[in-house]
Structure 1
Amino acid sequence: MPLALLALAIGAFAIGTNEFVIMGLLPEVAGDLSVSIPTAGLLISGYALGVAVGAPALIALTTRVSRKHVLTGLLVLFVVGNALSALAPNYGMLLTGRIVSSLCHGAFFGIGSVVAASVVAPGKQAGAVAMMFSGLTIANVVGVPAGTWLGQAMGWRSAFWAVTALGVLGILAVGAMIPRQPADPEASLRQEFAAFKRPQVWLALAMTTLGFSGLFASYSYVSPMMTEITGFASGSVMWLLVVFGCGFVVGNALGGKAANRAPMATILVLFTALTVVLATFTFTAEYKPLAAIWLFLLGAVIFGTVPPLQARVMQEAPGAGTLASAANIAGFNLGNAIGAWAGGLAISGGFAYNDTNWVGALLSGSGLVLAVVAALTSRRGKHPVAVPEGESSTADAAPARV
């Protein structure tokens, strides 16, 4: 494995821990800062919106800067934001710290995806992207549960200090392991933005947004759901997050392999499974063994979609890999914001915590409809390829694999 992929995975581990640790600490944050749990849930939406806005903006500003230097600078911003969160005296300052740390998220994964693809042989790019995202999956097995335990035992601020230290480790890893990658002197924002004239690019981004909004309508409130609906003790939440994170690891590995062969087919299968898992989670959340199993399934299915969704948007935006990749990361997090907001709206309206799964199923089902539309229109858009006599031909031009 190229050392560059290890450095990217370390950075992804820090960012993933920061993004998800708040979900296991919503009751502690809400109690300490005297806000409701749905209001505390807006810390998830605020972070996600920061990613959605920050990713394209930072990519645009750093088009001609060395990728290594940009990745380092992004992690510095990440450290500053988490230190602000740890020191926050009130809810407003905590939200500010979350937004500051979020600004690095989309650009890091967007640029990181391009760097990962550049250090491996053709045909293995989706696997390389999955390797980088493995840091995010491991964060959900180790970092998030450990941060949840630390935050519950020593106060939620201690979790953010731990994440700050992880960010410093990421800076050191990027500096030591990623080779110098000079900026592309021919890089052009006009060329990057031109790719967004393609309807398939927007369909890919919309699929990502709706799929992940379905997840976060449910997962944003997993802690109160598991304690108040399922009946687990608050100390068990950490282990349930480990189960969910194990699903991430399995899904990321299998999704990366499947995406190397057939990204669109993988998306269709997994979006169908996601909708079914969310819909049935409404009922299985009432039983401890089934709730744990469904959390694993939910993690496996949703994170299995990450490599093919990332591959899909990069495939449909040739010549604009960095910006398209960052835009897709923004799509993931816009989905996080929409899902957390929609789930909170249902709770504020008097629905139970497990009813957020119905909201999630409706959102992910909408993503599935778009995936079907994308597959059908993409197929219709391909034409027979004329080839010299004696050479093989196919009815459809084979799409490039990422």
Structure 2
Amino acid sequence: MVRSYQWKIVMLAIVSFLVGTSEYIIAGILDKVAADTGVSLSAAGQLITVFSLAYAFGTPLLMAATANLDRRRLLIYALSLFVVGNVIAFTLPGYAFLISSRIILALSTGVFVVTALTVATKLAPAGKQGGAIATLVMGFSTSLIVGVPIGRVIAGIYDWKTIFAGIGVLGLLAILMIWLTIPQTDGEEPVPLGKQFALLKEPKIAIALSVTFFWIAGYAIVYTYISPFLLKITGMSEQTVSAALFAFGIASLLGSKIGGYSTDRWGAPRTLIAGMLLHAAALVMLSLTAHSPFIVFGLLILWSFTAWSSGPTQQYHLLTLAPNASGIMLSLNTSVLQIAMAAGAGIGGVIVDHASLTSTSWLGAASVAVAAGTVAVSYARTLSKSRKKAAELRLRRAAKT
């Protein structure tokens, strides 16, 4: 029985890797997409903006509309739409069809990821749900470590559209596997959108979500255009760029692990502030040493490590702010994250068009620094209030004695 649930979770994680690769791959092949479709780098970068906006706003609406649907059937519907999106990217020419493909892929990815997490918690026995979720998240994150570098290699040897053809074929196999192995699971009572957004009225939650926005926007401003940056500014070869993206992915995994450990040991505020300040510093150094491939390679590792160290810490911090509404908080954080990705890609495109590729890291660093400053101010206010309450309590006790 135990083995049965575990391999089903692993299978969902493998499919999560597939949909994650489809999301992240554009940043890894941006220069090739721009050249093939005849658009500028900034226009190609808006493919990420479109994806993120469709994910952020479309996923909550679709999940609310399909709340009562059997979860296995919903997984299959989402993957069927996912296959269609990849087929469009592979077969239909031009930028407009690629935009359509990204919208379809965003909606299908969002529904699949949310539904898979729900199914995983129901498949796992009591006390094992956390591990099940971690396995799925690991599968999605691995797409950045393995999927993007492999996609870059495939795009260099063959054609970038071949990547989407392969993902589409594997998507069909994923549909079959889910149909054969995942049991039917009842839907859930939908949470009204009004209730979801009601939490935003609380200042501490709104401030915490603004941290997510500035942190991810700063990251996205630079990451969206990292491949052309490495090729044109740093002068790396195709093979070195692939290796750099692989190292970037490995560092992101290590950063997430260390971020979680640091949160347990030193607390969320200290971990966030330290990680974000180092994140901003790495982006500044990226511009200052842009023409040295060896130094840039090392800075990419530092950047990825520090950027991703904030992920689990920020999620934990948000959960502590609203422990009785954890699902809604994570949903809101995901939406803000995707909106920040869209904003970052859009702002980065403007910078590339009107300034230069090297300028992206300066503005990215500034945005991350704002996030770090917001955490620092919020933490200082919390400490001040705690000390004031403690002082008042001591005075009351002294008055009684």
Q: TM-score scaled to structure 2, two decimals?
A: 0.84
State how far apart, in whole Å, the 1-side matches of 2:261 and 2:77 are: 32
CA contact under 8 A between 2:67 and 2:190: conserved in structure 1? no
State how far apart, in whole Å, the 2-side matches of 1:373 and 1:138 are: 34
Tell me which of 12, 15, 21 is aligned to 1:11: 15
Task: Report Cα offsets for 1:236-279 as digits up to 9, x if no partner.
Answer: 32111111111122122323444566444433332222122112
Tell me which of 265, 288, 291 is aligned to 1:283: 288
Alignment-derived partner of residue 347 in structure 1: 352
Alignment-derived partner of residue 357 in structure 1: 361
State how far apart, in whole Å, the 2-side matches of 1:67 and 1:375 are: 40
Alignment-derived partner of residue 273 in structure 1: 278
Q: CA deviation at 1:354?
A: 2.1
3-state SS in 2 of match to 1:305: helix
State how far apart, in whole Å, the 2-side matches of 1:384 and 1:117 are: 42
3-state SS in 2 of match to 1:232: coil
State how far apart, in whole Å, the 2-side matches of 1:338 and 1:36 are: 18
Q: CA deviation at 1:136?
A: 2.7
State how far apart, in whole Å, the 2-side matches of 1:274 and 1:124 are: 33
3-state SS in 1 of match to 2:137: helix
Map 1:141-290 onto structure 2 (within 5 A): 141-172=145-176, 174-175=178-179, 180-185=184-189, 191-259=195-263, 262-290=267-295
Change in CA separation of 1:91 and 1:84 when aligned onto 2, cut-off 3 Å: same
State how far apart, in whole Å, the 2-side matches of 1:116 and 1:377 are: 39
State how far apart, in whole Å, the 2-side matches of 1:59 and 1:381 are: 39
Alignment-derived partner of residue 303 in structure 2: 298
* Identity percentage of aligned residues: 29
3-state SS in 2 of match to 1:359: helix
Q: One-letter code of the match for 1:342?
A: I
CA contact under 8 A between 2:67 and 2:189: conserved in structure 1? no
Asked if 1:328 corresponds to 2:333, the answer is: yes
CA contact under 8 A between 1:49 and 1:333: conserved in structure 2? yes
Alignment-derived partner of residue 390 in structure 1: none
| RMSD over equivalenced CA pairs, Å | 3.3
Q: One-letter code of the match for 2:272?
A: I
Q: CA deviation at 1:88?
A: 2.3
State how far apart, in whole Å, the 2-side matches of 1:345 and 1:139 are: 28
Task: Report Cα offsets for 1:315-365 as digits up to 9, x if no partner.
Answer: 4344544443233222222121111111221121132x2221101101111
Tell me which of 360, 365, 370 is aligned to 1:366: 370
Change in CA separation of 1:268 and 1:92 when aligned onto 2, cut-off 3 Å: same
State how far apart, in whole Å, the 1-side matches of 2:7 and 2:319 are: 23
Q: CA deviation at 1:158?
A: 0.3
Unaligned runs of 5+ in 1: 386-393, 396-402
Change in CA separation of 1:251 and 1:185 when aligned onto 2, cut-off 3 Å: same
CA contact under 8 A between 1:209 and 1:332: conserved in structure 2? yes
Tell me which of 57, 61, 69 is aligned to 2:61: 57
**Worse-matched range after superposition: 314-323 or 292-301:** 314-323
State how far apart, in whole Å, the 2-side matches of 1:8 and 1:376 are: 42
Change in CA separation of 1:316 and 1:122 when aligned onto 2, cut-off 3 Å: farther
3-state SS in 1 of match to 2:29: helix
Tell me which of 47, 51, 54 is aligned to 2:51: 47
Alignment-derived partner of residue 74 in structure 2: 70
CA contact under 8 A between 2:269 and 2:376: conserved in structure 1? no
State how far apart, in whole Å, the 2-side matches of 1:72 and 1:383 are: 54
**Worse-matched range after superposition: 21-30 or 159-168:** 159-168
Q: How many residues align?
A: 387
Change in CA separation of 1:380 and 1:128 when aligned onto 2, cut-off 3 Å: farther
3-state SS in 1 of match to 2:45: helix
Q: CA deviation at 1:169?
A: 4.6
Change in CA separation of 1:56 and 1:258 when aligned onto 2, cut-off 3 Å: farther
CA contact under 8 A between 1:211 and 1:271: conserved in structure 2? yes
Q: TM-score scaled to structure 1, two decimals?
A: 0.84
Q: One-letter code of the match for 2:37?
A: L
Map 1:108-147 onto structure 2 (within 5 A): 108-113=112-117, 129-147=133-151
